[in-house]
Amino acid sequence: MSRTAIAILSTENLLHNLKVIKKQAPHSKVIAMVKANAYGHGLRSVSSRLEKHVDMLGVASIDEALILRKIGIQIPIILAEGAFEPNELLVASTEGFHVVFHEKVQLQWLANLSCPLPIQAWLKVDSGMGRLGFDMDEAPAYFDQLSKSRQIAQPIRIMSHFACADEPDNPLNQQQIDAFNQFIQSIASKAPSEYSLCNSAGIFQYPACHYHFIRPGIALYGASPLLSQSAAELNLKPVMTLQTSLISMKMMAKGSPVGYGARFVCPQDLPVGIIAFGYGDGYPRTTRDGAPVLVNNARCKLIGRVSMDMIAVDLSACPDAKVGDPVILWGNDLPIEEIAQFTANVSYDLLTGVQNRVKFHWTRYINHTTNGL
Ligand SMILES: Cc1ncc(COP(=O)(O)O)c(C=O)c1O
């Protein structure tokens, strides 16, 4: 039997999550964020499953967008960080990509180019996150500049991004909403436009801010975007379940060390299982003792340092376990947020961290078995 580290990916759960999101924001168009290899789930596989059900796909680089065109994806694709060099504006023009403008050099590039077709443009404003986007006081001038450019299609759309939408009580959220609203009101008197503010957390928290487009990422993949509510409470289902198997078992005497650095020492005689999955597969090396691992559906506890290819568990909760038994590391019946609590990670980096040697199996529909781009 070959190594059994696999990611089982559920088309059904992906489409279910999309339905839940659309129910939250029934009047908005959906930009499904598939950047970073669709949060580790496979850019092509996810995009081809979503294409017929969403209005646009969101990527971070033109390379990702071109891969999608290459496999025949025809719906609009937005370059969420815009062009990284002038030539990308030309490519975006011919491919019909939507381009975010967030930095004045991007407008200079545009002024010096002759694009074959008008570009679908978004102006990104910094409503308070302090990352990408024009400051509110300078943004109206850049909006005017884009409006006057013959290389830009109308309408020019406006977007911004929340810094703390996962924390409902954070006062920055309302400040950002107020700043964004003020800006779009000032723009509305100049020209028709369309707006987008909400990521997954915003979609669930701020129905008044859904505007024309929502931009769900993590919720599509079935992890909770909110610190205060679990995925199940939001009716989201995990798209990815990481599965492997038990490859060795032994009874270890009280006082025996387990794994690198002898971080864990058996406090009493313990049945210990070795599982074929390590940080070389994407299970974080920083995971602490006690992280839950499902062996034959029984919740066991991780013990000792995560190795490149293996982890160890205390099998006390699963006395009938035998070599070859199935193991789940996160996904169905084991929310990824629970694992994140035992690491320095959040669900986003756990999902994007799953490595290429893990085999991907999609349930139903098209079967792209590689998780690579
Ligand atoms: C501009 C933008 N919009 C939307 C998203 C989706 O965010 P989330 O995964 O929290 O829904 C991201 C993700 O980082 C983003 O950068």
Residue 365 reports pLDDT greater than 60: no
Write down the pLDDT at residue 129: 93
Ligand 1 centre to CA of 217 (Å) is 6
Ligand 1 centre to CA of 227 (Å) is 16
Which atom of ligand 1 lies closest to the CA of 39?
9
Pocket test for ligand 1, best of 161, 213, 236 (most atoms within 8 A of CB): 161
Ligand 1 centre to CA of 130 (Å) is 15
Residue nearest to atom 13 of ligand 1 (CA): 217
pLDDT band at 250; cut points 50, 70, 90: very high
Mean pLDDT of 343-371: 83
Tell me the per-residue pLDDT of 79-118, one tens digit each, with 9 for 90 and over. Answer: 999 999 999 999 999 999 999 999 999 999 999 999 999 9
Residue nearest to atom 5 of ligand 1 (CA): 199
Strand ranges inside the chain, DSSP E: 6-10, 29-33, 56-59, 77-79, 98-101, 120-126, 134-135, 157-159, 195-196, 213-214, 240-252, 257-258, 264-265, 270-275, 292-295, 298-303, 311-314, 326-330, 359-363
Ligand 1 centre to CA of 34 (Å) is 10
Tell me the per-residue pLDDT of 120-153, one tens digit each, with 9 for 90 and over. Answer: 999 999 999 999 999 999 999 999 999 999 999 9
Tell me the per-residue pLDDT of 30-54, one tens digit each, with 9 for 90 and over. Answer: 999 999 999 999 999 999 999 999 9
Which residue numbers are catalytic?
35, 260
Which atom of ligand 1 lies closest to the CA of 124?
1
Note the Cα 333 to chain centre separation in Å: 20
Residue 1 reports pLDDT greater than 80: no
Residue nearest to atom 6 of ligand 1 (CA): 217
- Count of beta carbons in the 10 Å neighbourhood of residue 157: 20
pTM for this structure? 0.94
Mean pLDDT of 313-333: 96
Write down the pLDDT at residue 281: 97
Which atom of ligand 1 lies closest to the CA of 348?
9
> Which residues make Cβ contacts (< 8 Å) with residue 267, sequence separation at least 6?
254
Mean pLDDT over each residue of the chain, to the nearest integer: 95
Ligand 1 centre to CA of 80 (Å) is 9
Q: Which residues approach ligand 1 with their CB closer than 6 A?
A: 33, 80, 161, 199-201, 215-219, 225
Q: Write b or e for each residue in 238-275: b if 16 or more Cβ atoms lie within 10 A of its Cβ, otherwise e.
A: bbbbbbbbbbebeebeeeeebbeeeebebeeebbbbbb
